[in-house]
Amino acid sequence: MTQDKLNIKLVQLLRSLSYALDIAENRYYGHSKRTGYIAYSIARNMDLKEEDIIDIYYASLIHDIGMAGKLSRYTVLEIHHDETLKKQHCTFGYEILDKLPLHDNIKKYVLYHHEKWDGTGPYGLKGDETPLAAQIIHIADYFELSFVRKADIGVEKKDIDTINRWLDSYRNVAFNSYLCDQLLEVIKREKFWLDLKSENIEQALKIIEPGKNIYIDISDLYKISEAFSMLIDSKSRFTYEHSQGVSNITGNFATYLGYNPIMIDKLTIAANLHDIGKFVVPLNILEKPGKLTKGEFDTIKSHVYYTKLILKQIDGIEDIAEWAGNHHEKLNGKGYPEKRDEKNLTREDQIIAFADIYQALTEDRPYRKGMPPIEAIDIMADMAKKGYIDRDMLLDFKHVVL
């Protein structure tokens, strides 16, 4: 990858973000990907236009983006059974997606994916007032929760007659009767059920995936990283604006150190996404006012592992994934999760680490108020003496933040 060019497959990025959403607190693992596969299968069976199939697939992968952040305390089933929460998560999802460089159609499909055929959904759209794509995602979403998830964990085996009765009870109530028939055609194929198995779904998606040749550039990735930093930070009132603060400091520090504009953008993207792994950390741990138990601290520490695991799924941003995922490593090998040391940590890794440490020290946390800047720098100076961070870089960093 050259320093002046960055081309990323949009579908890889969305699949990676879908994974981040699916491993989040209170989520059913694989729900978004299986919903994407089901929605794709219905759309393909209907012989829709390729561009429409792509938009449906993309939208279904991230249809529950509004469940992350401030709504992460609720489970999928809690949201699906509460009309107020349904509307909130659709609206919040739309607000996040509105900041992303995606087709307006995709955002609209996510906004309306809980509308019902009889008009009793969150926004009261009736019949074909709801876009067809949103209707497809709706039936795929509910079918996955009602049957596929249960089948995957062995609670209920595939039973076409039971599914048929289930669909009949919702025909022209929750779902368009025609879409019910389309789903019934799709589920008769053995391949459909085999592809949906947890051990097969990832490879199945790679094979059928539409829109493989749609790319985004560094400018689009920057916008996406900004939107996700807001989503990450919104999970807890104590992490509010943390990622954005780390991002601002990183950009200023990289500029002071003389990096070129492309590298500054890449480092800022890494800073925006450095805590994306915190989706897996329960809110009661993030906001615990007292001392964490060893198990709770281990859960907190796992977030950097997941940050790198999420971002490494995207070809072309391997360096960004490293910088984002190494922000808790220390030069003396006493960091986590890989116990790296000065031999295999870069200056770029340190830039993100410096920004994260300073931002964390100066912002309010459940157990303390934020420190004044000079006090935070004194603590970082002590860390430098102990070999945790680079002493010479700290001298430059002081010029940026003081």
For every residue of 123-166, DSSP letters joined together read T---GGGS-HHHHHHHHHHHHIIIIIHHHHTTSS---HHHHHHH
Among 32-46, 120-134, 227-241, 347-361, where is mean pLDDT lowest?
A: 227-241
Regarding whether 182 and 36 lie in a shared domain, the answer is yes
Q: Are 253 and 397 in contact (CB under 8 A)?
A: yes
Which is more confidently placed, 76 or 376? 376
Q: Are 80 and 145 in contact (CB under 8 A)?
A: yes
Regarding whether 235 and 142 lie in a shared domain, the answer is no
Output the domain CATH number for residue 284. Answer: 1.10.3210.10
Using the 3D structure, point to which of 185, 208, 231 is the last residue of a domain: 208
Regarding whether 222 and 199 lie in a shared domain, the answer is no
Residue 337 lies inside a defined structural domain of this protein: yes
Asked if residue 101 has a cis previous peptide bond (ω within 30° of 0), the answer is no
Burial of 293 (C-beta count, 10 Å sphere; 0-12/13-18/19+):
exposed
Regarding whether 221 and 202 lie in a shared domain, the answer is no
Selection from 1, 8, 21, 64 nearest residue 310 by Cα = 21
Residues of the domain holding 76: 8-208
Residue 258 lies inside a defined structural domain of this protein: yes
165-192 per-position pLDDT tens digit: 999 999 999 999 999 999 999 999 999 9
Using the 3D structure, point to which of 178, 208, 238 is the last residue of a domain: 208
How many structural domains is the chain composed of? 2
Residue 287 lies inside a defined structural domain of this protein: yes
326-344 per-position pLDDT tens digit: 999 999 999 999 999 999 9
Regarding whether 223 and 370 lie in a shared domain, the answer is yes
Residue 2 lies inside a defined structural domain of this protein: no
Using the 3D structure, point to which of 182, 208, 234 is the last residue of a domain: 208
48-84 per-position pLDDT tens digit: 999 999 999 999 999 999 888 777 777 777 887 888 9
